[in-house]
Amino acid sequence: MKSHYQVLIVGGGTAGIMTAAQLLAKKKKLDIAIIEPSETHYYQPAWTLVGAGAYDFKKTAKPMADVMPSGVDWVKDKATGFNPEQNSVSAETSRDITYDYLVVAPGLVMEPSLIKGLPEALEKGVACSNYINPEYTWEVIRNFKKGNALFTQPTTPIKCGGAPQKIAYLAADHFRKQGLKNSTNVIFATPGSVIFGVKEIRDTLTKVIDRYGIHFKPFYSPKEIDVENRILHFNHTAPEENRCIINEDNELGEQMVGDVDISVPFDMLHLAPPQAAPKFVRDSVLVNDAGWLDVDHHSMQHNKYPNIFGMGDVAALPTAKTGAAVRKQVPVVVDNIQKLMSLATADNTSYNGYSSCPLVTGYGKMTLAEFDYKNNFIPDPKLKRMLVFNSDKEHWRLWMLKKYGLPHLYWNKMLKGKNV
């Protein structure tokens, strides 16, 4: 194994593989290595559908060897630290590797312990999560017959911020199809103030919530799970004038203690765990105060070390952490690295925060949120021409795009470095 590379990439996920593939498409003889310990590469966007029984989990996985770009050295090891002053990365079993340019894209990690009781709830099967085991989520939904089906998410940033509500819509649709609508209460509780930040999408989702009779609870931040009694305790984070009053004997069995503690009993619980940058990133000098990779929001160049770039879920970018965001970030990073290699300035600052969230709203229905840093709705013109309608409305064609089109584009275009 070599000890030095022109470009060293930490992480063999979407961002790392795409970056390597696009760099090699521009210049075949580049000396590139990817540090990645996993033997399997997952297409995680399909896990929402797996959790609803609408997609085969096996189809979301491929051997890492099959997606590693030809011409890249794969270092099958776990990165453990950075020494940017020496232009080196340390690994668990390999010797330190030095670089001319570094791309940090290891994704994020689940941190269930940030909510008291969540590790035990997951271990005992009291809670399910598409983020951890989507096949178990489908088992829980399939076997659910009555009571409170509670869906919620943490206060930390999470990958695909819309995922916790997508599975709530699919579950509500499943319950309706099974004749269980009157015996079930579907609850979606979020620390956020609104169902979605983009107005056009929010208007559509409000109608979806009304259609299913979902109990929408904004300003609910989960803090503790009473595993034994199946109760989730929330902090109510709304400004005092917006706080709800919990009445006795309400249909959900909610109780309020003091001004901010709300307890909700559940018969089914789906939760997106708290998430964070991997520990070796958090413990490094490369992060901001919140523990995310400190990069420029428009060029993805590190704010202190100009030969380091970061993107994807680990980056401190104020937009949704999605594969669609990565698709727009990678060409900017590739262009900037090429400019540095030719002794020019990394002056491509064209990334505008684009991200998209395919919001599945039922079996055979979807709306597609596409937005920038300012939460402007910015639908892709090519997609609009193909669909002949605005993607902020529910449509079966968008469902087909989610189930068939996007996985095909991912495996056959994005990971191979082709522009899509």
Show the domains of the chain with their CATH numbers.
4-108+277-352+401-416 (3.50.50.60), 113-274 (3.50.50.60)
Which one, of 321, 363, 318, lies nearest residue 171 by Cα?
Answer: 363
Dump pLDDT digits (tens) for 271-286.
999 999 999 999 999 9
Supply the pLDDT for residue 411: 97
Please say if the pLDDT value at position 291 is more than 90: yes
Which one, of 72, 40, 71, 82, lies nearest residue 58 by Cα?
Answer: 40
Dump pLDDT digits (tens) for 189-244.
999 999 999 999 999 999 999 999 999 999 999 999 999 999 999 999 888 766 77
**What average pLDDT does this structure show over 315-332?**
96
Supply the pLDDT for residue 27: 93
CB atoms closer than 10 angstroms to residue 100? 15
CA distance linking residue 300 with residue 8, whole number of Å = 16
Give percent of the chain above pLDDT 90.
Answer: 90
Three-state DSSP at 117 gives coil
Burial class (CB in 10 A: 0-12, 13-18, 19+), 78: middle
CA distance linking residue 288 with residue 273, whole number of Å = 22
CA distance readout (Å), 415 to 132, 372, 404: 23, 23, 16
Q: Residue 246 — very low, low, confident or very high, per pLDDT cuts 50/70/90?
A: confident
Angle CA 401–407–409, to nearest 5: 85
Please say if the pLDDT value at position 330 is more than 60: yes
**What average pLDDT does this structure show over 240-249?**
71
**What average pLDDT does this structure show over 251-256?**
91
- CA dihedral angle for residue 307, residue 309, residue 314, residue 319, rounded to 10 degrees: 140
Supply the pTM of this predicted model.
0.95
Supply the pLDDT for residue 267: 98
Q: How many residues does the chain have?
A: 420
Three-state DSSP at 233 gives strand
Instruction: Choose, from 89, 167, 287, 357, the residue flagged as catalytic.
Output: 357
Please say if the pLDDT value at position 137 is more than 60: yes
Instruction: Choose, from 10, 110, 160, 276, the residue flagged as catalytic.
Output: 160
Active site residue 160: yes
Which pair of tokens denotes residue 290? 């919140």
**What average pLDDT does this structure show over 232-261?**
83
Dump pLDDT digits (tens) for 349-374.
999 999 999 999 999 999 999 999 99
CA distance linking residue 92 with residue 77, whole number of Å = 6
Active site residue 357: yes
CA distance linking residue 305 with residue 303, whole number of Å = 6
Supply the pLDDT for residue 7: 98
Supply the pLDDT for residue 341: 97
Beta bridge partners of 79: 91
CB 57 within 8 A of CB 43: no
The counts of H helices and E strands in the chain are 12, 21
Q: Residue 48 — very low, low, confident or very high, per pLDDT cuts 50/70/90?
A: very high
Three-state DSSP at 329 gives helix
Please say if the pLDDT value at position 387 is more than 70: no
Which one, of 142, 130, 147, lies nearest residue 231 by Cα?
Answer: 147
Q: Residue 260 — very low, low, confident or very high, per pLDDT cuts 50/70/90?
A: confident
CA distance linking residue 393 with residue 369, whole number of Å = 10
